[in-house]
Amino acid sequence: MEIYDGEFIAELEAIAKRVRSHSITMIYRAGSGHPGGSLSGVDIMVALYFHVMKHDSKRPDWPERDRFVLSKGHAAPALYAVLAEAKYFPEKELETLRKLGSRLQGHPCMRKTPGVEMSTGSLGHGLAAGNGMALAAKLDRKLYRIYVLCGDGEMDVGETWEAAMLASHYKLDNITAYIDRNKLQLDGPTEKIMSLEPLADKWKAFGWHVIEINGHSMKEIIQATNEAKGVKGRPTAIICHTIKGKGVSYMEGSLHFHGKAPTDEEYKQAMKELGGTDR
Partner 1 sequence: MTWKWESQRKQYGRALVELGKERSDIVVLDADLSSSTRTADFASAFPERFFNCGIAEQNMIDTAAGLAASGKTVFVSTFAVFGTGRCYDQIRQSVAYPKLNIKIVASHAGITVGGDGASHQIIEDIALMRVLPNMAVIVPVDSNETYNVVKAIAKTKDPVYVRIGRADVPTVTDKDTPFEMSKANVMRDGTDVTLIGCGILVSKCLEAAEELAKHGIDARVINLHTIKPLDEKTVVKAARETGGVVTAEEHSVMMGMGSAVAMCLVENFHVPMKRVGIPDVFGESGACNELMEKYGLTIENIVEAAHDVMKRKK
Output 26 or 129, the one with its CB closest to partner 1: 129
Count the site residues for partner 1 by CB under 8 A.
32
Closer by beta carbon to partner 1, 62 or else 268: 62
Residues 46-75 that bind partner 1 (CB under 8 A): 63, 69
* Measured distance CA(33)–CA(27) in Å, rounded: 5
According to DSSP, the residues that pair with 150 across neighbouring strands are 179
Give the C-alpha distances (Å, rounded to integers) separating 68 from 54, 123, 127: 11, 16, 10
Our CB check for partner 1 shows the closer of 137 and 270 to be: 137
* Residues 150-209, interacting with partner 1 (CB under 8 A): 158-159, 162-163, 165-166, 170
Query: Any contact of residue 109 with partner 1 (CB under 8 A)?
Result: yes
Interacting positions 122-141 with partner 1 (CB under 8 A): 122, 125-126, 128-137, 139-140
Q: Least distance in Å: CB of 166 to partner 1?
A: 6
We find the least distance from the C-beta atom of residue 120 to partner 1, in angstroms, to be 8
User: Whose Cβ is closer to partner 1: residue 120's or residue 236's?
Assistant: 120
Would the CA dihedral through 239, 245, 249, 255 be positive or negative?
negative
Coil, strand or helix: which one is 148? Answer: strand
13 vs 162, which CB is nearer to partner 1? Answer: 162
For residue 227, the minimal CB distance to partner 1 (Å) is: 24
CB of 242 to partner 1, least distance (A): 24
Closest approach of partner 1 to the CB of residue 65, in Å: 11
Residue 267 · residue 278 · CB < 8 Å: yes
Minimal CA–CA distance to 112: which of 100, 122, 102? Answer: 102
Other beta carbons within 10 Å of 7 = 7
Quote the CA–CA distance of 177 and 37 in Å, as a whole number: 16
d(CA 102, CA 178): 29
**Angle subtended by helix axes 126-139 and 158-169, to nearest 10:** 20
Q: Where does this chain bind partner 1 (CB under 8 A)?
A: 63, 69, 109-111, 117-122, 125-126, 128-137, 139-140, 158-159, 162-163, 165-166, 170
